[in-house]
Structure 1
Amino acid sequence: MTAYLLGWLAVVKVRGLSIHLNFPDRYVLEDTIIPYFVERQEFQRIRFIGSDWYTKPYNRYFRSKEYWTIEIDPVKKKYVAKKHVVGSLLNLSEHFTTNYFDLIIYNGVFGYGIDTREATETSFQQCFQCLRSGGILVFGWNDILGFQPFSALEQCQSLQQFEPYVFTPLATTQYLVADSPNRHRFNFYLKPLPQ
């Protein structure tokens, strides 16, 4: 029993009354990325892609924002935001008008639901369409074979519509999380302003 409990505690960490994943990439997301956007007034309409037990505390983080989740699995409804759509990222624009969101966080779905190049192209196109000009896309993904549907992510045509965005707290447009067993990366993109 003790070995089981220690194994479980290696995966989760209790913070206050919430249980969080005890992984380096979650600390970067929860302690650096999310707080940065929560503090800025220009980011009011936020979309988080994918939901599970470890994303439930994000409702508290974004309580002062218009926070939406989308999750294809209706069983996970107990972990979602008050504003939620049961559906696929691939159909995001069916639920929201063009230019609606200020920020989209698309983390941990590439290779875990978005499993082909075609689906990846569509997912980025949907994000582009639903972000306002000047809006930000945060894309988190595992950069090792077996955890991504294809290599050469930067060759996605729909991703090339975005511009790299320098995320000030990390001083980069792409951040490889130290000590991440899955080589988790966060890429930051800006939807360009009209010319």
Structure 2
Amino acid sequence: MSATTKLKDVVKGILPERIVWQIQSLLHEMATRKLRGLEFHLNHPDRLVLEDNIIPYFVAHSEFNKILFVGCEWFTKPYEKYFKNKEYWTIEIDPGKAKYGSRKHHIIDPLQNLSHHVEDNYFDLIFYNGVFGFGINTKEDTEESFWQCFQCLRPGGVLVFGWNDKPEYKPFPVIEECENLKRFQPYIFPPFAATEYTVEDDRFEYGHRFNFYTKPVTA
């Protein structure tokens, strides 16, 4: 038995379970955070790809002005600064996470109700990342969520779909079986010169994957 394991056992024997859990949660959070400037970011390879490669491209192009980011967490809070010169929207079902969303345009509702809040063809760009399998879990909800994205994205607009391509994290084969996702056309993301990108990451057997789509202009 290692010294670290012995120390953990001693701590568990002395402190109440609730305090032990809080300490473990804090240590985990510290281990997964990375300081960039004056803000903390999630220190995962997929987030680095998103923040260093994907977001900067869209920030630099004026045709992408009305932007929706699906899902809010502590590590998405800095994204509002990235899009400070854009019309930045967020949507999150949990009211407690509103503090991590857009200060001007935040929706507290499931993505499946997006069209209740904005008109059709409103957004130029939608980030649907880290939500499939982590909140939107059934085929029915997934179909409706992509239908809402399709309705609210303008023709020629772009959908960035990020998800974990690993059996325990994907409720079903979404790329092959989601009918409303098939309404979109693959979009060649210029920095990668590809319509999809798999992040190299030892944490996942198949890695986090980004798929890029556009709404057909003739839709």
TM-score scaled by length of structure 2: 0.84
| Aligned partner letter, 1:85 | I
Deviating more after overlay: 173-182 vs 125-134: 173-182
1:25–1:180: 8 Å Cα contact kept in structure 2? no
Q: 1:88 aligns with which of 84, 105, 110?
A: 110
Identify unmatched segments of 5+ residues in structure 1: none
Q: 1:21 aligns with which of 42, 50, 69?
A: 42
Identify unmatched segments of 5+ residues in structure 2: 9-23
* Residue in 1 that maps onto 2:78: 57
| Aligned partner letter, 2:81 | R
The higher relative CO (CA closer than 8 Å, separation ≥ 6) is in 1
| Aligned partner letter, 2:95 | P
* Residue in 2 that maps onto 1:189: 213
Q: How does 1:1-195 map to 2 (within 5 A)?
A: 8-82=29-103, 83-179=105-201, 181-182=203-204, 183-194=207-218
What's the C-alpha RMSD, in Å, of the aligned pairs?
1.8
2:201–2:208: 8 Å Cα contact kept in structure 1? no
Alpha-carbon deviation of 1:71?
0.4
Deviating more after overlay: 148-157 vs 69-78: 148-157
Deviations 1:22-48 (A, max 9, x none): 000000000010000000000000000
- State the alpha-carbon separation in 2 of the partners of residues 134 and 54 from structure 1: 29
SS of match in other structure, 1:168: coil
The size of the alignment, in residue pairs, is 194
